[in-house]
Structure 1
Amino acid sequence: MEMMLVVVPLVGLIFAVMGLGLVLAGGSDTTGKKKKK
């Protein structure tokens, strides 16, 4: 039961990181070249 409390947040973080990565990767193709952080 304790494992679920650890696995669920980790899976959520993984999906969140993947989502942000896709957004940043997609945006870097166009706006990324013009705007360098």
Structure 2
Amino acid sequence: MPVAVLIAQFPKESDGISSVLCFSQMVTLFHEFGHV
């Protein structure tokens, strides 16, 4: 069974403000999915 792990470092939630990814972070995330 193939197994893959994608480890990323994105900003954590702080001061009650939820953490959302900006467009460039989303592009990076999907780019890295392509390597998996």
On whether the aligned pair clears a TM of 0.5, the verdict is: no
TM-score calculated relative to the size of structure 1: 0.37
More helix by share: 1
TM-score calculated relative to the size of structure 2: 0.38
Comparing both chains, which one has the higher relative contact order based on Cα–Cα distances under 8 Å and sequence gaps of 6 or more?
2
